[in-house]
Homo-oligomer: A and B are copies of this chain.
């Protein structure tokens, strides 16, 4: 039984990376998602990112009955009203701006509204979460954060190291996001975040999106819905009810080659297993309660069982992201 009418929820997923086709867009609609943040680049530079944007322009034309581009918060509400899903383009690395400050605005103008500062490794801006050393935000990084603040491109720290993340929160004049990660206290993965960092994020008005990627979950693919929602409850105690949402990190329809690209890019000749291992190099199975975007009502049910209802549940399911994006996507100055 679904205890909550999802018609009254604005459901937002702050991270999915899939090999998008019509079936997957139909899954978004089946899950009643008003908006989803999709990854278009991991290691791709400016030129390669243009091709991805070109591909999304075609997807928007060909599937305009299911999806619309999202440039501002109002696009999410309008998509909800029309029974469509607003697609927010984002990058998991700063590679789309190469080494050129002016490309922040250029990419923002093309609809790239969220950008991670680093992806696992050292970038031109800061350190990723798998680096042994973390020297914080670089000279270019300070400029890039300021420019992202100005144009309304949201800083995402999901794959950044601790010092880099704390400095970014401090340097950014606008709240930043960790679109997809969990507290390290729930599961001690390198990609999950310390309470100290999550508190600093919340204090600055930033947002955390809870991940359902098995490597971020206690018990991995066997993590129960109850384990997940209990973590949500504990994190709400830490960060406050207004500072959390979903960022499921759902990956659909990719083969192992894509995982190799995500993990190893062009920066190594050896296989890098990232959050996997040599024994289990491939995509981990999804938890039984979240196979596709169409499983989204299960999260609602779980949060309700955890004791969340009404306004609080609506905030976690997407209301907080809606408010955050509505402000964050606007240019300032």
Instruction: Tell me the A residues contacting B by CB distance below 8 Å.
Output: 46-47, 50-51, 53-55, 57-58, 100, 102-103, 105-106, 109-110
Contact = CB atoms under 8 A, between A and B. Distances in A.
Contacts of A103: 50-51, 54
Given A46-B50, A50-B46, A51-B100, A109 B109 contact: yes
Contact of A110 (B51, B54, B106): B106
How many identical subunits does the complex contain?
2
A44 to B, nearest CB: 12
Decide if the interface of chain A is mainly helix, strand, loop or mixed. helix
25 contacts: A46-B47, A46-B50, A47-B47, A50-B50, A50-B100, A50-B103, A50-B106, A51-B100, A51-B102, A51-B103, A53-B106, A54-B100, A54-B102, A54-B103, A54-B106, A55-B102, A57-B102, A57-B105, A57-B106, A57-B109, A58-B102, A106-B110, A109-B109, A109-B110, A110-B110
Given A50-B50, A50-B106, A109-B109, 14 more contacts: A46-B47, A50-B103, A51-B100, A53-B106, A54-B100, A54-B103, A54-B105, A54-B106, A55-B102, A57-B102, A57-B109, A106-B110, A109-B110, A110-B110
Closest 10 CB pairs between A and B? A54-B102, A47-B47, A57-B105, A54-B106, A50-B106, A53-B106, A46-B47, A46-B50, A109-B110, A54-B103
A109 B57 CA distance: 10
A251 to B, nearest CB: 24
Contacts of A58: 102
A53 B103 CA distance: 9
A102 B105 CA distance: 20
Interface centre among A100, A102, A105 (most CB of B within 10 A): A102
A219 to B, nearest CB: 43
Nearest to A111: B109
Interface centre among A54, A100, A105, A109 (most CB of B within 10 A): A54
Nearest to A105: B57
Contacts of A54: 100, 102-103, 105-106
A55 B101 CA distance: 10
Nearest to A45: B47
A55 B100 CA distance: 11
A96 to B, nearest CB: 10
Nearest to A54: B102
Contacts of A110: 106, 109-110
A59 to B, nearest CB: 11
A106 B100 CA distance: 19
